[in-house]
Amino acid sequence: MNSESKIKRILIAGGSGLIGRQLIQSLHNDAEIRILSRSRRPIEGAKVYYWNPDQNEIDPESLYNVDVIINLSGENIGLSRWTKSRKEALLSSRIRPIQCLVKSLEELQLRPKLIIQASAIGIYGSRKGELLTEESSLKGGDFVTELNTQWEIESKTLLPFCDRLVIIRTGLVLSAQGGIWPELMMSSPFRILTWFGRGEQVFSWIHIEDVGRAVRYLIEKNDLSEVVNLCAPGSLTQQELMHTIGRVLDKFYLYLGIPEFLLRIIIGKRTALLFEDQKVYPEKLLQHGFEFKYNNAEEAIKAITESIK
């Protein structure tokens, strides 16, 4: 950590997930890491504090003398069918943690230097042929867009309780430990790699290591605020991604497109996630001098496959 940033204590909500674990690994040598969790199970490299945002319960000790709060809370949107109750749960899992933090910071009269609040590139909606930067307009219309829009509206209630608020719109995370990688490789044992429909949808992705590096950069760069796209500059179509995987693995694969009607039968309305076309560009990070370790998917996939060996 840059000594000029003077960051000594970082509190992470949602720290037990894929991104949270990466942040602990990236930051724990330079700052005291605290984790907010419903479970008091120990986490290596961090001190765990209890909270239950649904009940507005939080251990106040977790917040004292904290310089940075990183809120990653929010249930996985792709795990189960979007019933009415599931949609309500997805929204609540994003809104209630923010409300709990706001209430606690206000009551304790605390003001961290920085709050980094999670969001997702799903807020842009499916925008075929457009290059999407932080300055791009937002268009509502589907559940994913509206969910992320409400999430970011609520996120802005944190602004009066910190010196700087950064909302990170994260792309599809490539990691050997989770993210979208296991789903991409589901059929690979049968020497089959698949995409959805015609596979022309653009995927905007980021390697998990660059997530950690970018968050660290946001902590150190005091002039970065508001919305920041967290995705690599080298977005590509689903077809291109799967062919890149096959090329890196250097094996023979049969490439198949899964018809949209079949996906709708199997997973229902969540099919929309698989057909989102979003060419998202990390304009702010690049303009401020951040250098991605993995600019293109081939480099990222090589790193993943080598870590699995």
78 compared with 228, residue with greater pLDDT: 228
Closest CA to 92 of 14, 151, 12, 11: 151
pLDDT tops 90 at residue 95: yes
Structure tokens at 304: 């993943």
Closest CA to 197 of 231, 237, 143: 237
Lowest mean pLDDT segment, chosen from 66-80, 124-138, 172-186, 238-252:
172-186
- Percentage of the residues of the chain whose pLDDT score is greater than 70: 97
pLDDT tops 50 at residue 3: no
Structure tokens at 167: 């909302």
Model pLDDT, residue 5:
53
The domain tally of the chain equals 1
* Residue in the block written with tokens 């304790």: 108
Average pLDDT score over residue span 33-52:
92
Model pLDDT, residue 2:
53
Structure tokens at 17: 């997930």
pLDDT tops 70 at residue 75: yes
- What SS3 state is found at 132? strand
204 compared with 82, residue with greater pLDDT: 204
Average pLDDT score over residue span 187-197:
89
Q: Give the number of other CB atoms < 10 A from CB of residue 116.
A: 22
Model confidence pTM above 0.75: yes
Average pLDDT score over residue span 24-46:
91
Average pLDDT score over residue span 121-139:
92
Confidence of residue 6 (pLDDT cuts 50, 70, 90): confident
* Residue in the block written with tokens 């062919």: 243
- Percentage of the residues of the chain whose pLDDT score is greater than 90: 70
Structural domain range at position 268: 3-308
Average pLDDT score over residue span 64-81:
92
Burial bucket for residue 81 (CB in 10 Å: 0-12, 13-18, 19+): exposed
Q: Give the number of other CB atoms < 10 A from CB of residue 57.
A: 12
Model pLDDT, residue 7:
80
pLDDT tops 80 at residue 140: no
Give me the chain's average pLDDT, please.
Answer: 91
Average pLDDT score over residue span 177-182:
85
Report pLDDT digits (tens) over 17-34: 899 999 999 999 889 999
> The domain spanning residue 244 has which CATH number?
3.40.50.720
Report pLDDT digits (tens) over 246-300: 999 998 999 998 887 887 777 677 777 777 889 999 999 999 999 999 999 999 9
Please report, for residues 111, 148, 152, 175, the alpha-carbon distance to residue 19 in angstroms, rounded to integers and kept in the order given: 24, 18, 19, 10
